[in-house]
Amino acid sequence: MSIRYRKKILFFLIFCPVFLWYFSVFAEKKTIVIGGSAGWSGLSVKNGITAGKGRFGYDCLELAAASEPLTADTDLLLDFEGDTIKDSAGNYTITNNSLILEKDIGFGKQSALCRGNGKGLSLSGKNGSFFGTGNSSGSFLIEFWLKPSISENGEIIFSWRSSRNVNDYPVYQMITSSFFNNRVEWKFTNIFDGYTADNGEITLVSYRTIIPGKWAHHEICFDEESGLLEYRINGSLEALRYVTSSGKTGGSIYAAVLGVPADIHICPSFTGNIDEFRIVKTPVCENSVPSDGDPEPDGTMGIHYLMYKKEGGRFETQPLPVPGGSELDSIDAVADIPPQTAVDLYVRGGDNFYNWTDSYPAWVPVENGEAVTGVTGKYFQVAGNIFPDGNGDASPSITEIKINYTEQPLPLPPFSVTAVPGDGSVTISWTYSVDDLSGGYYVYYGEHPGEYLGRAAAEGASPVNAGNTNSVTLTGLKNGTIYYFAVSSCSRFDSQIRGELSEEVYARPKQN
């Protein structure tokens, strides 16, 4: 045994009571940080939650806008929420754009600003899209949020112009939405096959006047099963027309048939903001945007649309690995919680997350910054429910979460280890660790100093679990080969928690 190691033993024996008290009482405090500078990549569940800008310029978690989700029937979706404008459904490509993204919330965090410069946004539909397939037909819904700066005659919100052959003759086609006498007017020219009255043109005009500077939700829809063409603003019916031979229910239905594929133009001559522009191949024109049914105080909106769904959203972190036997102390969240909004936090822990379910282990509700008791294990998981205010207008945000826990200290190694060679074997002995955290021992071995990669012993590859004993004989070793050994203690809380290695010893087996 080296002089240096003997000094260690002497020092420990003298101050043994102090060491035992220190390691038993002062377990190490640790913290895991998610969010903030670490980002939010470690989430396993993110329902109704999106990324925003929180404190200190970091990303935060906040409620996602309550927009309609993408479905198999979504033909086009422009939510204007990203850094660039694109069709989230992937069916249209932008051929021209003069719209500007602006932090003027219509139905989300951003909307598009239109300056009435005669350009707007133009999109070309791919084959299979509603406006990108020749002789396409069927039901459709066109909807969007709109906040005009002015409502002068000639302001164009939507335009599509093309043609199709009818009895070998080209017929001009057009769909437009524009302002006329402070109202919104939709025109469908030669869109409905067989409809010849009024030179093939059908016009729907809003009942109410459009007020500049106010957001409103517009939707126009055609149902090929009934022939009903209807226009709604904020969920209220403005105008309707049965595109049938009788002009009402029960007649022959004139189907919508689009001819040669052509670009669609959004806000080519419109001044104001537009948001959440969507085309769907199903007739769902019936207040499709979440609302609470309450009229606005001034009566102009007719119904209060919710920016955020009342049921809120939920996030869950991945199970976070920690040393076995760790105890969760508290959860500290950096959050902004406007009046009437709420953030409810939950935690759970366990030793094996592979058998976890949505409800097992049970989630434990915790208060931000307050002490947590009874949550232990090798893994911790944090969840949160985020709720908006009663009007669905405001969302809380969480910039960072700190998971504070106590890590059990590593047990001290044995202070005296010997190795005695035998015939194809070596017996390794050690003194029991004086650390009351120790619950067993592992023996490491190998053929090079400091490299314990041995696999030859009949008792198994390095390290060998020796249990709570102070001696083990490794057999099956090669005579004449020198082997190096070290011993570590393992925690009585978890055998996988192993402390530092003892001083190295060696022995060379030989034939008796």
Query: Could you read off the pLDDT of 128-138 as tens digits, one per residue?
Result: 999 998 877 78
What confidence category does residue 410 fall into, taking pLDDT thresholds of 50, 70 and 90? confident
Residue type, 398: I
Poorest-pLDDT segment among 230-239, 290-299, 348-357: 290-299
Q: How far is residue 129's CA from residue 208's CA, in Å, rounded to a whole number?
A: 32
Are 343 and 313 contacting, i.e. CB atoms less than 8 angstroms apart? no
Cα distances (Å, whole numbers) of residue 25 to 16, 161, 283: 14, 79, 68
Closest CA to 162 of 189, 198, 122, 140: 189
Cα distances (Å, whole numbers) of residue 232 to 144, 158, 183, 188, 294: 11, 16, 13, 16, 17
Poorest-pLDDT segment among 181-190, 237-246, 432-441, 469-478: 432-441
Span 82-102, average pLDDT: 93
Dihedrals phi, psi of 130, to nearest 5 degrees: -65, -45
Are 410 and 500 contacting, i.e. CB atoms less than 8 angstroms apart? yes
Identify the residue whose tokens are 């299979």: 128
For the chain, report the end-to-end CA distance as a whole number of angstroms. 26
Residue type, 408: Q
Closest CA to 150 of 217, 214, 231: 214
Give me 64's structure tokens.
Answer: 């996602």
Above 80 in pLDDT, residue 104? no
SS3 59: strand
What confidence category does residue 304 fall into, taking pLDDT thresholds of 50, 70 and 90? low
SS3 247: coil
Its sign, for the CA torsion 177, 221, 81, 340, is positive
Above 90 in pLDDT, residue 485? yes
Closest CA to 185 of 175, 194, 193, 195: 175
Give me 107's structure tokens.
Answer: 């139905």
Q: How far is residue 229's CA from residue 237's CA, in Å, rounded to a whole number?
A: 11
Are 488 and 497 contacting, i.e. CB atoms less than 8 angstroms apart? no
Enumerate long-range contacts of 99-104, CB under 8 Å, 24 or more apart: 99/266, 99/267, 99/274, 102/273, 104/147, 104/273
Mention every residue, 6+ apart, whose C-beta is less than 8 A from residue 85: 78, 94, 97, 99, 101, 112, 121
Above 90 in pLDDT, residue 264? yes
Q: How far is residue 96's CA from residue 161's CA, in Å, rounded to a whole number?
A: 16
Are 104 and 111 contacting, i.e. CB atoms less than 8 angstroms apart? yes
Q: How far is residue 477's CA from residue 354's CA, in Å, rounded to a whole number?
A: 38
Note if the bond before 388 is cis, omega within 30 degrees: no
Rounded to 5 degrees, what angle do the CA atoms 195, 205, 255 make? 25
Are 162 and 171 contacting, i.e. CB atoms less than 8 angstroms apart? no
pLDDT, mean over the chain: 87
Are 151 and 185 contacting, i.e. CB atoms less than 8 angstroms apart? no
Q: Provide the pLDDT for residue 289.
A: 46
Closest CA to 386 of 349, 337, 347, 339: 337
What confidence category does residue 509 fall into, taking pLDDT thresholds of 50, 70 and 90? very high
Identify the residue whose tokens are 């959860």: 331
Q: Provide the pLDDT for residue 394.
A: 87
Task: Name 50's bridge partners.
Answer: 62
Question: pLDDT over 90 for what percent of the chain?
Answer: 64
SS3 344: strand
Q: Provide the pLDDT for residue 68.
A: 61
Above 70 in pLDDT, residue 493? yes
Closest CA to 262 of 355, 162, 187: 162
Are 126 and 93 contacting, i.e. CB atoms less than 8 angstroms apart? yes
Burial of 470 (0-12, 13-18, 19+ CB in 10 A): middle
